Structure 1
């Protein structure tokens, strides 16, 4: 089975209605695994699988369980390779929250990413708290999880600013990956934007 076929099957499985209501759908799972690929502290597979599904899915049989878990592992490897390449990573969704942000794929992806960050929150911020916080801002805004907080309220009300921020997510991911995975290269890569 090709990677694309495997991912189509994984997406159908994760987007089905019979998973636990707190389980991540495909978009959120992609964001979640992207955060795991970036994190400076590795999360054991059994831990992230538990977090992703919230509870063990009702697999049809052991072969299905094996296939789904392998598809998730392959997706994680695929994301890691994409982040390590010189290209900005392509997200599996449009970089746009649209008219109904809560229903957008990008919101789901950003929520999943933040779930991945929350698994190892201390590790994310221990090396370069200010830089990481700044870099995570577009994803935090995209997630909608922080809209109630005062410092986010002004940003959220500025549609053009939000659009500009979420359009930067692929670039931000590359920078975060280098910052967390290769901190010694950090000074050269964080050039001020003009």
Structure 2
């Protein structure tokens, strides 16, 4: 949104009420402080941890803790003792279970970081949560990518999450065939399940010198490339909770096919952190 973010110690939810499930505020702060002091491979904080676990809970197929836990914390011997180890794992498992319970009770809310804008005013930032959710999608990238490329219903359901992720610089989205895109240069394969939404225009289809407008794009990702207005941003922020619940229901109703098997070598969307590609 063009504002400088200065993270503060506190964490914010989309709603101020304490949820009926999960960790207390003190326990959330405890987990957040641990993650800050013992950064994992992607340096996820509490908000990103909540996004990661949310994506795992609503994933198209079950994901074992042995897959998602190394994304969150590193196994490098930094945990000093068994008590600390057990305490951290207990908090993470309880956070995971709270997401399951909140979704079943229709009370799910994402955890966002509380930051300061350029005027020093506190606001909620979805960047960390979106980074975590994108990391969870990466764990089953082939399934997500194939289905997003073939079923516009899932793309529509995920619209607020994808738009916020793109707005916050978490995702980098190429428009297939657009001038300057990686796909036009031919140095990168299309995303799993992605179709070439743009055809190379013939000479007859080019606008003439009279100033005719070029044909409108039929790329369903096109609106993701447009900057979001403040009202659109706020609306998307408030729509994330419902989107997560709808994603879970979608995969329950439309389970993965055999040709949408897990493929770790095919990331869905390229996720960025500090200007570097993260797969």
- Fold equivalence (TM over 0.5): yes
In structure 2, relative to structure 1, the CA distance for the partners of 1:57 and 1:25 (3 Å cut) is farther
Structure 1 position 177, deviation (Å): 1.3
* Matching residue of 2:33: 12
Q: Once the two structures are superposed, what CA deviation does each residue of 1:95-136 show, in whole Å capped at 9, x if it has no partner?
A: x99857xx9541111111111011112333556732222222
* 8 Å Cα contact 1:97-1:142 kept in structure 2: no
* 8 Å Cα contact 1:124-1:180 kept in structure 2: no
Write the mapping of 1:1-194 to structure 2, written as runs, cut at 5 A: 3-4=23-24, 5-16=26-37, 18-20=38-40, 22-53=42-73, 55-56=75-76, 58-85=78-105, 87-93=106-112, 99=117, 105-124=125-144, 129-143=151-165, 144-146=169-171, 149=174, 151=222, 152-154=224-226, 156-183=227-254
Supply the distance in 2 between the matched residues of 1:23 and 1:99 (Cα, whole angstroms). 22
Structure 1 position 181, deviation (Å): 3.0
* Matching residue of 2:14: none
Query: How high is the TM-score relative to the length of structure 1?
Result: 0.76
In structure 2, relative to structure 1, the CA distance for the partners of 1:54 and 1:23 (3 Å cut) is farther
Secondary structure of the 1:93 match is strand
Moved more, 42-51 or 174-183: 174-183
Supply the distance in 1 between the matched residues of 2:52 and 2:127 (Cα, whole angstroms). 12
Supply the distance in 2 between the matched residues of 1:181 and 1:97 (Cα, whole angstroms). 35
Q: Which is strand-richer, 1 or 2?
A: 2
Structure 1 position 37, deviation (Å): 0.5
Q: Once the two structures are superposed, what CA deviation does each residue of 1:164-186 show, in whole Å capped at 9, x if it has no partner?
A: 222211111111111123549xx
**What is the aligned-residue RMSD (CA, Å)?**
3.0
List gaps (5 residues or longer) in structure 1. 185-194
List gaps (5 residues or longer) in structure 2. 1-21, 176-221, 256-279
Q: Which is helix-richer, 1 or 2?
A: 1
In structure 2, relative to structure 1, the CA distance for the partners of 1:66 and 1:115 (3 Å cut) is same
In structure 2, relative to structure 1, the CA distance for the partners of 1:43 and 1:173 (3 Å cut) is same
Supply the distance in 1 between the matched residues of 2:35 and 2:125 (Cα, whole angstroms). 14
Structure 1 position 57, deviation (Å): 6.0
Q: Which has the larger radius of gyration?
A: 2
In structure 2, relative to structure 1, the CA distance for the partners of 1:26 and 1:84 (3 Å cut) is same
The number of residue pairs the alignment matches comes to: 177
